[in-house]
Structure 1
């Protein structure tokens, strides 16, 4: 059971890092340079990983935008 807990914890940490990278991309325009990765399979997985962060970021912004506890300034 401990291995499953560690795997879930590690997965959530990776998702949070991806969301942070998506926030940096949206606010500053800076994005990881994936062109330097030679292997196309690894590059494809990295694109999927970054797209996961973009999706989570969009969902979070939409949810918080429709909440009564947050306001846009």
Structure 2
């Protein structure tokens, strides 16, 4: 596997992890305590990372909600 392939695979894995964290937040209200991160730059990028998961989660729910293969119960 090439270096680019590994980078793409790693970034997709990180995005899926962020989506899982967004799902946990939506279903349980549990979220990481970002205020415990002392470095403001790391805190800012952690927030952006979690927001990416929220956006992907919202997009996926909207897409699946309009699909004929899924129904709300």
Residue 21 of structure 1 and its aligned partner are, at CA, apart by: 0.1
User: Partner residue of 1:25?
Assistant: 25
Residue 72 of structure 1 and its aligned partner are, at CA, apart by: 0.1
User: Partner residue of 1:43?
Assistant: 43
Q: Which runs of 5+ in 1 are unaligned?
A: none
The 4+ residue runs of structure 1 with deviation greater than 2 A are none
Q: Which runs of 5+ in 2 are unaligned?
A: none
Give the alignment's Cα RMSD to 1 decimal: 0.8
Residue 23 of structure 1 and its aligned partner are, at CA, apart by: 0.1
User: Partner residue of 1:59?
Assistant: 59
User: Partner residue of 2:14?
Assistant: 14
* Length-normalised TM-score, structure 2: 0.98
* Length-normalised TM-score, structure 1: 0.98
What count of residue pairs does the alignment treat as equivalent? 73
> For the residues of structure 2 that align with 1:40 and 1:12, how far apart are their CA atoms?
25
